[in-house]
Structure 1
Amino acid sequence: MGEVRHEAVIGAPREAVFAYVDDYRNVPEYMFGVGRFTPTTELTHGQDSEFETAIRIGPKELTSTVRCTEWIDGQLIRLESVKGFGADTAWTFADGDEPGTTVLRVVFGYTLPGGLAGKVLGGLIGPFAEQGVKHTEAKIRAAVED
């Protein structure tokens, strides 16, 4: 399993950053490559909510169903793949040292398929992940910072 970790200090209160990331309607806006993030249950956030997602990596579109397996209001969102492309995400939120700031930490984990497809995707994922993390941080900043 591959993993990408990122930490950033966002110039907005933790509650605002959490609310923005937690709203499924914002995911295609801030998450690089995500074209679809649709609830599959009546729950649209929080523990046990589930979403169908499509992410474009290079010429390939990967689909997945993810479930929120951990959710602590204002602190943690953990999504785990239950079907399709193996991709897990954990977001943690903490108050920053400066008043009105948030320390945002995210861990993206992914499992590649075996064989030739896995080798091809492996070559695309590294640059994609690096670009994706920068894009995601910039979009969240633009949405929540004054």
Structure 2
Amino acid sequence: MADVTIDLDINASATDVFNYISDYTKCSSYIYGLQHLQPLTELTRGKGAKFEGRVKMGASLESCVEVTEFEEGVHYATQSFKGVKNGMDWTVSPVDDGNAKVRLIWTFDFGSGIAGRTIGKLVEPFIKIAAKQSAEDLKNGIEAGA
């Protein structure tokens, strides 16, 4: 399993940050390697929304994810239900009216067998790079539009 935690400060309100993160149409602007993201449900924001996606991190990784936790303005989490096991967990905290703190925990689980461990070791460096770049792109994208 690969687990990456990123903390960052963003010069924008917590509300603006959360709205950006929870808008699936913005994901390609900050999720490193995202090649495809398509809604599978009419609901595209909030708990129960489902998406099919593909990320390229050395190899193309496909999965279907569901928003499993959603607390307006504060917390947003996804978990895969098909394909490569992965999850993203976002927590947004206000610092003051124009600044927010964000914590991203990004997990991938390729299984505990020999093949899963081998793939995990090959992809883990890309996941760390992707998480760092995703956080930087998120910060830049929000601050440019704030």
Query: Following the alignment from structure 2 to structure 1, what is the Cα–Cα distance between the partners of residues 122 and 22?
Result: 28
1:39 aligned partner: 39
Q: Which secondary structure state, in structure 1, belongs to the residue aligned with residue 43 of structure 2?
A: coil
Structure 2: give runs of 5+ residues left out of the alignment.
Answer: none
Q: How does 1:63-142 map to 2 (within 5 A)?
A: 63-96=62-95, 98-113=96-111, 114-116=113-115, 118-142=116-140
Q: Which amino acid aligns with 2:100?
A: T
Q: Which secondary structure state, in structure 2, belongs to the residue aligned with residue 141 of structure 1?
A: helix
Structure 1: give runs of 5+ residues left out of the alignment.
Answer: none
CA contact (8 A) 1:57 1:124 kept: no
Instruction: Report % sequence identity.
Output: 29
Tell me the number of residue pairs that the alignment of Structure 1 and Structure 2 aligns.
143
Query: Following the alignment from structure 2 to structure 1, what is the Cα–Cα distance between the partners of residues 2 and 137?
Result: 24
Which 4+ stretches in 1 moved above 4 angstroms?
Answer: none
- TM superposition shift of 1:73: 0.8
Q: How does 1:45-64 map to 2 (within 5 A)?
A: 45-58=45-58, 60-64=59-63
Deviations 1:37-58 (A, max 9, x none): 1110000110100000101121
What is the alpha-carbon root mean square deviation over aligned residues? Answer: 1.4
- TM superposition shift of 1:145: 1.1
1:12 aligned partner: 12
Query: Following the alignment from structure 2 to structure 1, what is the Cα–Cα distance between the partners of residues 82 and 39?
Result: 14
Q: TM-score, normalization: structure 1?
A: 0.90
